[in-house]
Amino acid sequence: MRFTTSALMLAASALMASLAAAQDVPAGYPAGYADTIKAATTEGSLLIYTNMGQKNWQLVIEGFRARYPGITVDILDVGSRESIERYLAESSTGVATADLIATASQPGWLDMQARGQIMDYASPEAGNWPDWSKPFPGLYTVSADPLVFAWSALNVPEDQRAHSFADFVELAQENKGAWANRVTTYSPISSPFGYVAHYYFVKHHGEEKAWAWLDALGALPLRMETTGGPQMEKVTSGEYVVSYFMSGITVWPRIDEAGRGQFLDWTYIEDGQPMMIRGIGIPKASAHPEAAKLMLDYILSEEGQIAFGKGGLTPARPGVQPGDGVLATYSSVVEAVGEDNIIMLGYDPEMMDGYEVFQERLRQSLGQ
């Protein structure tokens, strides 16, 4: 059989491409994953809707591009629930939309599940993750971030900074006059983040204990904020004495900023530590689903989790530990407070089914 020079070159090129694809398959992945890599490279691009900023994503994107240089990644930070609402609006009209969604919005993901809009993708990394991190087929976890106490070091001496919610409420009652309108949190009325945190707080502690605590705080009274930034600025300046249920990934970067450490401190909530789950999934209308699979798998890998940890998030993959730029992980938080004291802010359908009734009780308690 005779071969022309051009035919030989084409065959060699095909062989080299096949070998390169095979070499790119991560250790432990099925050999057929090479086909996913090839298809993703053909797609060539990936659009992610998220509620995380460029700093959080930077090392993840760098690591992904080093592994898959033929795929362009674009990140659109459009907020938590907005990430999903935008996708639903665009996909319903056929407009180009997200290929991957990574966001902390339990109500949003419950909506996506109910609409059948999450692609049922079985990641090769799934076996390395616990059941709580895979609530629905195709929905995985980016991080589990602790919601902590953020203290004004100007107003609260170190030996008085509570490490439990019970001690925090007692301290607030002892300082009711000085703390009036100077305790803050995410508003459970105007912030979905705040609503989810308070819902699981009540569910964990039981209604009698939890509502008694919240009633006592509401009597101070409290001042609420919709986002974390204003809370942190006012705690740092001393306008607020403390914020409860503040995301650790909002607090920790502030402490590292020049000079802030002397004005700001934080503690875990050791009698019930809320953990905010950030979900990630491929939506059904993804135009680049193979590229989305590669990114999802990379994020779930140990390398991807460490990259997110260095970017300020709290890696949720079991076994990943702090160090080398990673401040805290799910495993280290469990070690600090005990597994029985973890409050996982998950995907309970009753959270939305009883929304109006629970909101009204929150209004009564917190004075909103």
Give the pLDDT confidence score for residue 230 in this predicted structure. 94
Q: How confident is the model at residue 1 (pLDDT cuts 50, 70, 90)?
A: very low
Q: How confident is the model at residue 169 (pLDDT cuts 50, 70, 90)?
A: very high
Handedness of CA 158, 164, 170, 176 (dihedral sign): positive
3-class DSSP assignment, residue 40: helix
82-116 tens-digit pLDDT: 899 999 999 999 999 999 999 999 999 999 999 99
Distance CA 103, CA 86 (A): 12
Distance CA 173, CA 334 (A): 29
349 prior amide bond cis, ω within 30: no
Closest CA relative to residue 200, chosen from 278, 268, 147: 147
CA 145 to chain CA centroid, nearest Å = 6
Question: For 5-152, where are the alpha helices, taking DSSP H only?
Answer: 5-24, 33-43, 54-67, 80-93, 106-114
Q: Where are the beta strands (DSSP E) in the chain?
A: 45-50, 72-77, 100-103, 140-152, 183-186, 223-225, 242-247, 264-267, 273-281, 342-345
Q: How confident is the model at residue 329 (pLDDT cuts 50, 70, 90)?
A: very high
Whether 255 has a pLDDT exceeding 90, the answer reads no
Q: Between 289-300 and 54-67, two packed helices, what is the crossing angle to 10 degrees?
A: 110
3-class DSSP assignment, residue 279: strand
3-class DSSP assignment, residue 274: strand
3-class DSSP assignment, residue 39: helix
Handedness of CA 68, 69, 71, 72 (dihedral sign): positive
Give the pLDDT confidence score for residue 305 in this predicted structure. 98
Task: Measure the CA dihedral 232/233/236/242, to 10°.
Answer: -40
More confident position, 135 or 13: 135
Backbone angles phi, psi at 257, to 5 degrees: -70, 150
SS (H, E, C) 291-305: HHHHHHHHHHCHHHH
119 contacts 87 by C-beta, under 8 angstroms: no
- pLDDT above 90: percentage of residues in the chain: 82
The structure tokens listed for 269 are 């909530």
Q: pTM above 0.75?
A: yes
Whether 30 has a pLDDT exceeding 50, the answer reads yes
Distance CA 50, CA 31 (A): 31
185-225 tens-digit pLDDT: 999 988 888 999 999 999 999 999 999 999 999 999 999 99
